[in-house]
Chain A
């Protein structure tokens, strides 16, 4: 059964309950506090230890008709792509496709090569720093006591591996809704079977458009570039890059054939040149 998230940004109120619920359930350590000064977003980005991130977009523009302003909020998450760059890139097989069609990093297999980090077209996956007992690089304060003493987190062990949203694989195996969706007070984050979510999402878009809202779905269908549809898709009211989503993502592995071919041509050319040079040396 393929399950996923439909994140309806028009319903998001920016409460960050999803961020908190995710951190708590997955026992992810605090990333420390930085005052960014960019609206209410002090989380900044998804990372190895932040698997939900609420973006705040403040838009204000002056017109003849007066001030147009709106405040967009979106809870970002791993997209669990149909064709996932991270999964294709992983050389250890640590990243797998689960029975729920989600993309899951097995923390005990990952060796922290970091290739998935550069292979995600959405900038989701990141490495988790090694656990530092002094807590200078890695804040263990939010972990429960036993984990804190063992200096480890539940899913990542002692760090040094890649981390991202698991689509609450553990909760799903128990038949429980993922933590973020459960915590969301406005049903901005909806969890369910992917086909049902898509049907519901297109209805919602229709309804919003009838009300004059310029709503689009992002990732309900193929996003292009070989990535395919996204198992965690979004309803947006502005262009994707406004929310830090790529408007034109590309699946990295689509670049491989051209690369290998050009390398082969270069090698063949050099071999021929070398053959000519070394043979002419023989004649002299």
Chain B
């Protein structure tokens, strides 16, 4: 009977045609039902990825800060305290998304190199330990804890925290890109790099905000310059992701989620704070106004970073609904 059916084009060619905007070339699927399952992740995973990125950036900031300079020593202290606070909050958020939260510890019964989720949890555990030791060192330096306790955290723990932080920030991207989800899979190179750059920008924003509150104004300019570099890299990666992902990228870059990405992440989270930071670098504003400017830029960057993850997760859910993308999965 089958020879009486008309010839249907090779799906490879059809998909290439569809990528060029010709949807009629797509072969019929099973009642247009989704082929893949959508993630059930909600706000908690979004927050987890967002805070994970910041933890990574804070590790880098603590490494960059020079101990011999008073303002940078204070910055390092700020970064260390903030990173420990995030390292304490993040496991709780991760646990809250589990179907069986009481079984969280089952994640610590094995180490699996092929599972980003497993490696990430271990990275988080190690990072928490190192961040805790570094905070003990800070507390012993300000004499809250006995002075000898600073030896509990040798100097090597600072670059180690930065290294673990870079891993955590990167893994939050690999966690998404190393799945069967077509959108995330199409971003196998871009999403991890975007996670790192966006995490670093958010960390700079958080550190600037805390430094302004702590009246450590001198380091803010340096942080804002690093934030500018990270945000610019993030924007460039997003543009390249759009170009590279072709049809797979549509759930993220078009429609309501596309509008949200452009308005909340690109305009609000990258362009607006960059403009504010540039104004700060060029114009000498009076101090109260300058403080306000930093706080506004930081808040916008953090909002943009959160919305980036939120839009990415929501777009992943939409991408899983596309049976054509599920049938021919990105390499």
Contacts and interface: CB of A to CB of B under 8 A. Distances in A.
Interface of A: 36, 38-39, 41, 44-45, 55, 57, 59, 61, 63, 65, 68, 70, 85, 88-94, 109-115, 117-128, 130, 159-162, 212-214, 225, 237-250, 252-253, 255-256, 258-260, 262-267, 269-271, 273-275, 277-278, 281-282
B100 A118 contact: no
A29 to B, nearest CB: 16
B306 to A, nearest CB: 19
A260 B170 CA distance: 7
B229 A278 contact: no
Interface stretch (B108-116, B139-147, B270-278, B283-291): B108-116
A250 B184 CA distance: 13
The 8 closest A-B pairs by CB, nearest first: A112-B99, A263-B170, A160-B99, A111-B103, A244-B30, A263-B192, A267-B166, A91-B118
A110 B101 CA distance: 10
Contacts of A239: 8, 11, 27
Contacts of A244: 29-30, 33, 35, 323
Contacts of A124: 37
Contacts of B175: 115
Contact of B222 (A85, A93, A277): A277
Contacts of A112: 98-100, 103
Interface string B1-35: 11111101001000000000000000111110111
Most buried by A among B112, B114, B328: B114
B96 to A, nearest CB: 12
B115 A115 contact: yes
Contact of A273 (B103, B170, B229): B229
Contact of B37 (A36, A125, A159): A125
Given A63-B4, A88-B115, A259-B177, A282 B106 contact: no
Contacts of A117: 37, 39-40
A255 B30 contact: no
Interface string B70-103: 0010000000000000000000000001111101
Nearest to B328: A248
A123 B41 CA distance: 16
Most buried by B among A92, A242, A249, A263: A263
B180 A85 contact: yes
B114 to A, nearest CB: 4
A266 B233 contact: yes
B40 A109 contact: no
B251 interface: no
Interface string B105-147: 0110110101111100100000000000000000000000000
Contacts of A267: 56, 60, 166, 169-170, 196
A271 B60 contact: yes
Given A111-B98, A214-B3, A256 B178 contact: yes
Given A262-B190, A278-B65, A92 B222 contact: no
Given A92-B107, A281-B221, A266 B192 contact: yes
A68 B112 contact: no
